[in-house]
Amino acid sequence: MNENIIHITENFVRDTLGEDSTGHDWHHIERVRKNALYIAKKEQAGDTFIIEMAALLHDIPDAKLNTSKEAGERNLSDFLQELEITEEASSSIKTITDLVSFKGGNNSRILSVEAKIVQDADRLDAIGAVGIARAFAYGGKKGQQIYDPGLEIRREMTEDEYRTGKSSSINHFYEKLLKLRDLMNTDTAKEMAEERHQIMEQYLHQFFKEWNGQA
């Protein structure tokens, strides 16, 4: 029963996201799902059905993929309504996708264990080798520079500034990616984030060495 629902959801997500190249493609979703299920298993925590469903659906309401935030939320609600799941399951899934699609870093809301796990899984995919690739892919698509020494790096930003401000892909590391390790909720994700964080540090070190023309 649950397997069938997961299958229907997979197809819906694949069709909706299609070939998006801002970093919200189907492969991102698959990695987030894998990370989330891995964390859940390691931590022996959470309802795996809710975790898997929320991981699959977490980018559906994202404003970037819809004409508006409301349109994205409606798209998700309409889909969930068609499924044979309880009202409770549907509402847990919506709460998680809502949280995860809000990109503003810290939030003081009390999270369910399922939400913590999916949030960690999504954040893990923004860092490390894959995270580096995604940052430059996103920057290229948006027409932003690889790096702009004239642009101020803003470590503290509001959600609005983050969404609309001018940035460069290298700036994005300082504005967001290097902070994610310390924002992980679960011990498993903290551990997984460590190596990915180191790789970004090393990468930036080498980047600036080459940028400055040092051998």
Residue 23 interacts with, from ligand ADP, Ni ion, none (CB under 5-8 Å by kind): ligand ADP
Q: Looking at 116, 172, 181, 197, which residue binds ligand ADP (CB under 6 A)?
A: 172
Angle at 90 (CA atoms; ends 85, 96), nearest 5 degrees: 140
Taking the complex as a whole, the smallest distance from the CB of residue 133 to ligand ADP amounts, in Å, to 8
Residue from 65, 122, 127, 134 touching Ni ion (CB under 5 A): that is: 122
Name the residue nearer to ligand ADP (CB basis): 55 or 85. 55
Segment near Ni ion (CB under 5 A); pick from 2-10, 57-65, 127-135, 167-175: 57-65
Asked if 33 is part of the footprint of ligand ADP (rule: CB under 6 A), the reply reads: no
User: What are 63's two structure tokens?
Assistant: 């404003």
The CA distances from residue 131 to 12, 54, 113, 170, 201, in Å, are 25, 21, 24, 12, 12
Residue 157 CA, chain-centre distance (Å), reads 18
Binding part of the chain for ligand ADP, among 6-14, 33-41, 80-88, 134-142 by CB under 6 A, reads: 134-142
Binding flag, residue 61, ligand ADP (CB under 6 A): no
Backbone angles phi, psi at 33, to 5 degrees: -60, -45
Report the amino acid identity of residue 91.
S
Q: Could you say which DSSP state residue 125 is in?
A: T
CB 137 within 8 A of CB 20: no
Could you give the CA distance from residue 141 to residue 55 in angstroms, rounded to a whole number?
24
User: Is 92 among the residues that bind ligand ADP (CB under 6 A)?
Assistant: no
Total residues contacting ligand ADP by CB under 6 A comes to 16
Residue 162, SS3 per DSSP? helix
Measured distance CA(10)–CA(157) in Å, rounded: 34
Contact region with ligand ADP (CB under 6 A), list: 33-41, 165-173, 188-196, 205-213: 165-173
Which residue from 76, 96, 122, 196 is in contact with ligand ADP, where contact means CB under 6 A?
A: 122
CB of 94 to Ni ion, least distance (A): 16
The tokens of 2 are what?
């649950």
62 contacts: CB under 8 Å, gap ≥ 6? 24, 72, 101
Q: Which does 73 bind (CB under 5 to 8 A by kind): Ni ion, ligand ADP, none?
A: none
User: What residues line the site for Ni ion (CB under 5 A)?
Assistant: 59, 122
Residues near ligand ADP (CB under 6 A): 23-24, 59, 103, 122, 125-126, 131, 134-135, 138-139, 167, 169, 172, 177
